[in-house]
């Protein structure tokens, strides 16, 4: 298929950006370009595009806020969809008794949405303070940490399936696991959250406390994708071990390949310094995995999502 003369989207209400600087749109700020970046303006356009991509075997990837993403230097093929048009950023509130339901579209910014719930004196998203994400990316990754995960506030999730159909799952049908979900569909479109009214002063104080904790433990201002590795399960101790501690114990803080270094602030953060390439980060990831395995016998699995040309989407 010739993507430049593609009939996939020529009749759809979308903006198409060929050869888009994808890596620069991520928190890492490094990596290659997307052959085609598509910004749909309507849900129908997105559904139709999903269906056509599946039928034609065209890879389809969804970009959220790019906070958990490394784009390989050679860039990515197929179509990258960005849900940043107004219809995909809407957030609506609906009070039913003590519980407030909030429906957020996948492209809404998590931090802004969280601050609006706080302004309204609502708890639910508070444990996610300080986590950069879109709503869709936070659901896909089951974003969270020491204070809780997004799953705890989810009432239902609406997706677009490979054949372009809208499907809604109640939370009871979904499995939210450690930094993952069992959602089978390529596109998360929206989610409904259960929020609980609370004292606005207390909610605000809790957000501040969690944010301060994150700021003191993580290099939030540096170019990274958050934690590079998941905490591995240790079959001997029968629990998850801190990947950061394992990396620290292997003496790897400060290790550098090219412009990529292991943060001295938090050993599970691989930071890109000016001039870094995605390949530097990938090599450092491999080196860390190798050295931690040598020392502890534990296999580290990447938490950061890596997009490479030719990989299945």
Residue 121 CB: number of other CB atoms within 10 A? Answer: 17
Please tell me the distance from the alpha carbon of residue 61 to that of residue 45, in angstroms, as a whole number.
15
* 127 CA to centre of own chain: 16
Choice between 42 and 291, CB closer to ligand FAD: 42
158: contact with ligand FAD by CB under 6 A: no
Q: Does residue 159 have an active-site annotation?
A: no
3-state DSSP assignment of residue 202: helix
Residue 199 beta carbon to ligand FAD: minimum distance, rounded to whole angstroms: 25
Name the segment binding ligand FAD (CB under 6 A); options: 59-67, 202-210, 281-289, 294-302. 59-67
137: contact with ligand FAD by CB under 6 A: yes
User: 237-273: buried (b, 16+ CB within 10 Å) or exposed (e) per residue?
Assistant: eeeebebbebbbebebbebebebbbbbeebbbbbbbe
Q: Does residue 227 have an active-site annotation?
A: yes
Name the segment binding ligand FAD (CB under 6 A); options: 6-14, 55-63, 161-169, 201-209. 55-63
Q: Which of 135, 132, 117 is nearest to 62 (CA)?
A: 135
Residue 270 beta carbon to ligand FAD: minimum distance, rounded to whole angstroms: 11
Residue choice 38, 50, 70, 106 for contact with ligand FAD (CB under 6 A): 106
270: contact with ligand FAD by CB under 6 A: no
Choice between 69 and 260, CB closer to ligand FAD: 69
Please tell me the distance from the alpha carbon of residue 236 to that of residue 77, in angstroms, as a whole number.
42
Choice between 164 and 226, CB closer to ligand FAD: 226
- Is residue 167 within 8 A of residue 186, CB to CB? The reply is no
Please tell me the distance from the alpha carbon of residue 20 to that of residue 199, in angstroms, as a whole number.
45
Q: Does residue 273 have an active-site annotation?
A: no
Residue choice 32, 64, 232, 244 for contact with ligand FAD (CB under 6 A): 64
Q: Provide the token pair at 115.
A: 């601050």
Choice between 199 and 311, CB closer to ligand FAD: 311
Name the segment binding ligand FAD (CB under 6 A); options: 10-18, 93-101, 141-149, 253-261. 141-149
The two counts, helices (H) then strands (E), for the chain are 6, 21
Q: Provide the token pair at 25.
A: 């749109």
Choice between 99 and 171, CB closer to ligand FAD: 171
Restricted to residues 222-261, the positions that interact with ligand FAD (CB under 6 A) are: 224-226
Write the Ramachandran bin of 135: left for phi over 0, alpha for psi from -120 to 50, otherwise beta.
Answer: alpha
User: Roughly how many angstroms between the first and final C-alpha of the chain, as a whole number?
Assistant: 17
Annotated catalytic sites, by residue?
Answer: 179, 227, 303
Residues that bind ligand FAD (CB under 6 A): 27, 61-69, 83, 106, 131-134, 136-138, 140-141, 143-145, 179, 187-188, 218, 220, 224-226, 305
């Amino acid at each position: 298929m010739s993507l430049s003369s593609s009939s996939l989207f020529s009749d759809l209400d979308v903006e198409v950006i060929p050869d888009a600087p994808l890596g620069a749109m991520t928190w890492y700020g490094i990596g290659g370009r997307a052959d085609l970046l598509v910004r749909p303006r309507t849900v129908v356009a997105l559904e139709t595009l999903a269906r056509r991509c599946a039928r034609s075997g065209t890879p389809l990837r969804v970009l959220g806020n790019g906070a958990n993403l490394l784009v390989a230097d050679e860039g990515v093929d197929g179509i990258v969809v960005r849900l940043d048009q107004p219809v995909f950023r809407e957030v609506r509130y609906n009070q039913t008794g003590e519980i407030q339901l909030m429906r957020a579209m996948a492209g809404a910014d998590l931090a802004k949405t969280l601050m609006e719930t706080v302004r309204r004196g609502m708890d639910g998203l508070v444990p996610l303070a300080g986590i950069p994400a879109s709503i869709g990316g936070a659901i896909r990754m089951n974003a969270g940490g020491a204070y809780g995960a997004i799953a705890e506030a989810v009432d239902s999730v609406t997706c677009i399936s490979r054949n372009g159909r809208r499907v809604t799952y109640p939370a009871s049908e979904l499995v939210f696991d450690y930094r993952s979900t069992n959602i089978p569909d390529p596109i998360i479109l929206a989610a409904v959250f259960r929020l609980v009214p609370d004292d606005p002063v207390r909610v605000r104080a809790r957000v501040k406390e969690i944010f301060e904790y994150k700021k003191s433990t993580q290099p939030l201002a540096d170019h990274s994708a958050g934690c590079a590795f998941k905490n591995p399960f240790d079959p001997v101790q029968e629990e998850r071990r801190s990947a950061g501690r394992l990396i620290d114990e292997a003496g790897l803080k400060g290790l550098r390949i090219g412009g990529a270094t292991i943060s001295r602030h938090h050993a599970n953060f691989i930071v890109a310094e000016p001039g870094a390439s995605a390949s530097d980060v990938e090599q450092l990831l491999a080196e860390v995995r190798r050295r931690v395995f040598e020392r502890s016998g534990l296999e580290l699995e990447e938490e950061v999502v890596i997009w490479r040309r030719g990989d299945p989407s």
